[in-house]
Structure 1
Amino acid sequence: MQQAIAVLDSGVGGLTVVKEVMRQLPHEKVIYFGDTARSPYGPRAASEVRHFTRQIVDYLLQFNPKMIVIACNTATAVAIEDIRARVSIPVVGVISPGARAAIKSTRSGMIGVIGTDGTIRSQAYETALKMISPDIRVYSEACPLLAPFVERGLFSSESAYDVVEQSLSPLRGKPIDCLILGCTHYPFLTESISQVMGPEVALISSAEETARDISTILQQRGLLSNSSEMPVHQFFCSGEPVVFKQIALSWLKDQIALKPVVWQIPSII
């Protein structure tokens, strides 16, 4: 049986990473877990997020994955080292890849970061950016309205621009030339974010760089799939499945069209 890349998130946000993984690594099987019943993670205590992340990882380990991808910035910020200490397989997060992508993009050294309360409170992006380039100036803003808005499937609605404008207003006028979308839900709102911030501000999603990290690690360890069979992807959500499935099918339509997919609701809570 083909070993999978296991991807977890607080909800649908990690699908933005899955889309890029499937694009770059089309022969790899993906098992995805969205903790939609307990989303969002941003307002929760770090100890609670670590507990949830451990629960999900323990659940995913039954499928014998070859890698764990924590495709949630809040969980990456507070739980990745804990998970790495608990498992023997590679564990990849989304913060370091996002920071590297921003450093590559910026010309002025002025970088904006938006994220959940938990991610911004952790200062994980500021730490990651300054480890690479100590002179970088970081402007951070928590945007607690955005992830729940995406979870409700409203990212294409007429109200999306207004919600984004309200959330990003403190950053408008700041001397930034790139903005890290420090929550994997935010790429669903790229169009509105770009309209609010203007064309001079590059938007940085960690998905592409994270997928490159995954590819590099698997190649270095000789774990890339050499199967000629079409992978059977598996998607789990802990909450109400209808909206989750609608969002996943819409976002991943090019990647999973005509491919076998298994949809399940686990009972881990």
Structure 2
Amino acid sequence: MNPEGPIGLFDSGVGGLTVVARVRQCLPDESILYFGDTAHLPYGPRPLAEVREYALRISRYLVAEGAKVVVIACNTSTAAALEAAQAELPVPVIGMVEQGVRAALAVARNGCVGVVATQGTVRSGAYERAFLAARPDLTVVQQACPAFVPLVEAGATDGPEALATAREYVAPMSAQGIDTIVLGCTHYPYLAGAIRAVVGPDVALVDPAEELAQALVRLLDERGLRRTAPAEPAHRYLVSGDPAVFVEAARRLLGREIAVERVDIFDGES
């Protein structure tokens, strides 16, 4: 592994940019290689075996492009493919679920935690297993939120539709007494304001990206993989679908333009 290589990250769309932002805050001297699999967005409704195959192909591509570590910046892909990627790839691989659980356990108070996630992540049971392995006495309330990702990709994160959708999904969880909610999809931090408006100030909202960035810092230090080159880091953003759609979504969510390249690693399949 070349310490001067980029950190490779991927997601189904713009959601993983929330992880990129945290990583760049904690590791400003590192180069970033990001892949958004927009040709197959959203991952949530797809069978986990299909998501696993997409995730492994993307991970292999990032390694072939020089990535020194792969960050699965997608909870559904983490649930579907983390163990397989760790077993196959010659570089370290980290994902979202373990980080979300660790961060939530640090702030949970009453033993009742919530997870909002895609259908695939909920169906996998990854969060519930991880929580109960750490604390068997916990009550874990999960809610699949299939309308959240389309809202984020459309940039509709703070209007009446976002608030109504958040209320539909989150209000029943709040009524069950949760004091912590894990934002179990990397798109969901963009909807934190709408979720907060529903649950009020006393429920902790946990973004696993914060914990993941810290775990990545530790990993690079432990493996001696910190970049030391004096040149400015290079950041590349790749997509499998229409770059213009990704650029526009990123502009709405980030408030700035990013250069995006389209690459076809799936041989034209849909």
TM-score range, shorter chain: over 0.9
> Which residue in 2 is equivalent to 1:264?
261
> Which residue in 2 is equivalent to 1:160?
162
- Name the TM-score, length of structure 2 as normaliser: 0.93
Q: Which amino acid aligns with 2:248?
A: Q
> Which residue in 2 is equivalent to 1:40?
42
> Which residue in 1 is equivalent to 2:226?
224
Which region of structure 1 is more displaced relative to structure 2, 157-166 or 91-100?
Answer: 157-166
Q: Secondary structure at the match of 1:225?
A: coil
Q: CA deviation at 1:110?
A: 0.9
Q: Which ranges of 4 or more aligned residues in structure 1 deviate by more than 6 Å?
A: none
Q: Which amino acid aligns with 1:224?
A: R
For this pair of structures, how many residues does the alignment match? 264
- Structure 1 251/232 Cα, relative in aligned 2: closer, same or farther at 3 Å? farther
> Identity, % of aligned pairs?
42
Q: Secondary structure at the match of 2:201?
A: coil
> Which residue in 1 is equivalent to 2:205?
203
Question: Is the Cα–Cα contact under 8 Å of residues 158 and 193 in structure 2 kept in the other structure?
Answer: no
Provide Cα deviations, 1:188-211, integer angstroms capped at 9, x if missing partner.
101001001111111001011000
> Which residue in 1 is equivalent to 2:103?
101
> Which residue in 2 is equivalent to 1:241?
243
Q: CA deviation at 1:226?
A: 1.4
Instruction: Report 1:5-20 matches (<5 A).
Output: 5-20=7-22
> Which residue in 1 is equivalent to 2:77?
75
> Which residue in 1 is equivalent to 2:88?
86
Provide Cα deviations, 1:212-257, integer angstroms capped at 9, x if missing partner.
111100000000111222111000111122231233345456xx89
CA–CA distance in structure 2, aligned partners of residues 216 and 74 of structure 1? 24
Q: CA deviation at 1:137?
A: 1.1
Q: Does 1:49 align with 2:41?
A: no
- Name the TM-score, length of structure 1 as normaliser: 0.93
Question: Is the Cα–Cα contact under 8 Å of residues 171 and 199 in structure 2 kept in the other structure?
Answer: no
For structure 1, the residue ranges without an aligned partner over 5 or more in a row are: none
> Which residue in 1 is equivalent to 2:144?
142
Q: CA deviation at 1:164?
A: 1.6
Q: CA deviation at 1:26?
A: 0.2
For structure 2, the residue ranges without an aligned partner over 5 or more in a row are: none
Q: Secondary structure at the match of 2:40?
A: coil
